[in-house]
A and B are shown apart, each in its own frame.
Chain A
Amino acid sequence: MTGRIPLVLCAFVFALATVAAAQDLRFPARVEAGTAFSIPTTGSGEATLYVVGPGDAIARKVHLGEEIEFEADDLHNAGHYLAILTGSSSVSTQFDVVPSRQPASLSFLAKPSRLAVNRPDGISGVTYIFDIFGNLLLKPEDVSFQLSDATGGTQLRNASSHEGVAWVQMNSAPKAGPAHFQATLSGVHATRIVEEVPGDPCSIHMTARPASSGRVLLQTDPVRDCNGNPVPDGTIVSFTETHDGRVSTVDVPLKRSVAQTELPAASGATISVAAGVVLGNEIRWGGR
C-alpha cells in the first residue's frame, strides 16, 4: 500500500505536466505588422486560440501539436495583444504587434493655408508618419520639408521625427502667389498649397483732376505692399474731403490695384486718402 503512493504521485505529476505542455503558448514578444509567422503548440486535441487587443480580435480553431499559422494580413494593427488558448484548460500570454518598418503615408498639416508675404516662421508644417496599415511609425525618421514659392524660390529644411511626428516652421516668400509645401520621406510625399498674399499697403498716392459737372476726379497710383506686390482688389481705400468744417468720406474698393472716385470740386477743400492704417498724400483743391 505504501509502495503505491509514490507511483500515484508520479502519475499525477505526469498528468499535470501533460496538461501544462498541452496548454503551452509561446508567442514571440514582438511581431511586425503584416508579417506571417507561426507558433508551435504541444499536446493533442482541439483548442481555440483567441488573440484580442484594441486593434483586433481573432478566433482560431487549432489542433494541438501542430503549428498555428498567421498569414501576413492577419495581424496588422500595432498594439498590445492578449492571446488565450482554451482547451481542456486555458493559458494566456501577451505580445506586441509593432509597426512595419517602411513608411507608407504622411499625414501632413500645413498652417495657415493663407498668409501675408514675408512673415518669418509664419508657416508651420506638422507631419505624422504611418506605415501601410496606418500604424504610427515611432522610430526616428528624417523628413524633408520643401516650400516652393510662386517665383521658384525654395526653402528646404529637414527634421527628425520623434514618436512619429516631425515639424518645421518656414518663412513666407516676399512675392505673393501659391506656394507648394511638400513633406518627403523615403519616396513618400505629401503636398499642401499655401496661398501667400500681399501684405498691407506700404504707401498710397493719389492725383486729382477736374471732372465734368463741377466735380473732381481722384485716382490712386497702383497700391502695393512693401515688397512691391499689388494689394488685392477689393481692399478699401477711403477718400476724405474737408470743406468749411464739413467732412465727407467715400470708401472705394481697389480695382486692378487702383481706386478712383469723384467728389464735389469745392474750392479750398482738402482731400486726403487712406487705406487701412496707411495715410496717403493730401491735396488742396482750387487753392495753391
Chain B
Amino acid sequence: MRIAHKIPVLAPISGAILAAVFLSASTGPSVRVAPMDSVGPREVEDQTRSSVIRDYLEGWKAMDEALSQNRADLLDSAFVGKAKDKLAATVQEQQKIGLQTSYQAKSHDIKVVFYSPEGLSIQLLDDVEYDVDVRKAGQSLGSNHVRARYVAVLSPTETKWKVRILQGVTQ
C-alpha cells in the first residue's frame, strides 16, 4: 500500500530570513528550516540548501514506504551506506515477524549544523513529530505519536543528496 505523503517544494531561502516555515497543501508534514547563514565550515549555497532539505524529506517518505510495504528496494532512491543497511535489515526483520510499520511525519524542525569543507557531507538535526502505526496481518497492534530528534548525515551522489546516517537521539 502506498501512503500518500506530500513533500513540500522548497524555494531558496534568503539569508536575511530568520527561519522558514513550509506548510504542505494537505497531508504532508509542516517543515521549518533554521537559517543556514552560520553553518560551517563550508558555506551552504541556496541551491544546496533547497536540494538537501528536499532530499532529506524524501528520505522520510522512502523510509515510510519501505517499512510499511516491507520493500527494501524503496530505500535505494534516498539512502546509502549505514542508513540504508540498517533500514534494509529492519525491513528484513519485519518480514520475518510479519510486521509492517508506517511513519507518518507531521512536522519537521530542521537545523543544518555542519557542512564539510570539501562539500562531501552535510549534517542536520531534525526535531520531528510523527505517528507510528504498527500492523500485523492487516490489524493495527498500536499507534503512537512520537516527538524525537533525529540526526542525519547526507552525502552527494550523482544526481541528489542521499541519507548516509539517520539516527534517533534522545532530546
Contact at A50–B99, with CB atoms within 8 Å? yes
B93-114 interface with A by 8 A CB criterion: 93-94, 97, 99, 101, 103, 113-114
**Cβ distance A146 to chain B, nearest Cβ, rounded Å:** 18
Contact at A109–B118, with CB atoms within 8 Å? yes
* Interface presence of A54 (CB below 8 A): yes
Query: Which DSSP category, helix, strand, loop or mixed, fits chain B's interface?
Result: strand
Chain B residues, CB < 8 A from A77? 86
Chain B residues, CB < 8 A from A30? 170
B114-154 interface with A by 8 A CB criterion: 114, 116-118, 120-121, 123, 125, 132, 134, 141-142, 144, 146, 148, 151, 153
**Cβ distance B90 to chain A, nearest Cβ, rounded Å:** 5
* Interface presence of B77 (CB below 8 A): no
Contact with A along B80-98 (1 / 0, CB 8 A): 0010001101100110010
Contact at B116–A82, with CB atoms within 8 Å? no
Closest B residue by C-beta to A169: B117
Chain A residues, CB < 8 A from B94? 52, 57
Contact at A135–B117, with CB atoms within 8 Å? no
* Interface presence of B63 (CB below 8 A): yes
Complex Cα distance, B39 from A274, in Å, reads 44
Complex Cα distance, B86 from A77, in Å, reads 8
* Interface presence of B36 (CB below 8 A): no
Q: Which of A58, A84, A109 contacts B116 (CB 8 A)?
A: A109
Complex Cα distance, B119 from A124, in Å, reads 11
A28-66 interface with B by 8 A CB criterion: 29-30, 50, 52-59
Complex Cα distance, B114 from A165, in Å, reads 8
Residue in B89, B144, B169 with the greatest tally of chain A CB atoms within 10 Å: B169
Contact at B113–A136, with CB atoms within 8 Å? no
* Interface presence of B167 (CB below 8 A): yes
Chain A residues, CB < 8 A from B15? none
Contact at B141–A86, with CB atoms within 8 Å? yes
Complex Cα distance, B118 from A124, in Å, reads 7
**Cβ distance A75 to chain B, nearest Cβ, rounded Å:** 12
Closest A residue by C-beta to B170: A96
Contact at A128–B90, with CB atoms within 8 Å? no
* Interface presence of B166 (CB below 8 A): yes
With contact pairs A50-B99, A58-B93, A165-B114 given, residues A78 and B168 touching in the complex (Cβ less than 8 Å): yes
Contact at B141–A84, with CB atoms within 8 Å? yes
Q: Which of B41, B87, B144 contacts A92 (CB 8 A)?
A: B144
Contact at A128–B165, with CB atoms within 8 Å? yes
Contact at A54–B165, with CB atoms within 8 Å? no
Contact at B167–A135, with CB atoms within 8 Å? yes
Contact at B144–A82, with CB atoms within 8 Å? yes
**Cβ distance B40 to chain A, nearest Cβ, rounded Å:** 9
Contact at B117–A111, with CB atoms within 8 Å? yes
Closest A residue by C-beta to B169: A138
**Cβ distance A26 to chain B, nearest Cβ, rounded Å:** 16
Complex Cα distance, B87 from A90, in Å, reads 26
Contact at B97–A57, with CB atoms within 8 Å? yes
Contact at B123–A55, with CB atoms within 8 Å? no
Q: Which of A29, A56, A84, A111 contacts B120 (CB 8 A)?
A: A111
Contact at A96–B117, with CB atoms within 8 Å? no
With contact pairs A50-B134, A57-B94, A77-B86 given, residues A162 and B114 touching in the complex (Cβ less than 8 Å): yes
Complex Cα distance, B153 from A94, in Å, reads 24
Contact at A98–B170, with CB atoms within 8 Å? yes
19 interchain pairs, CB-CB under 8 A: A52-B101, A53-B168, A54-B63, A54-B166, A55-B90, A56-B90, A58-B93, A59-B99, A79-B168, A82-B142, A86-B142, A92-B142, A92-B144, A96-B168, A128-B153, A136-B153, A163-B114, A167-B114, A167-B117
In the A-B complex, list the 10 residue pairs whose CB atoms are closest, starting with the nearest: A80-B168, A79-B168, A111-B118, A124-B117, A59-B97, A57-B93, A84-B142, A80-B148, A92-B142, A57-B94
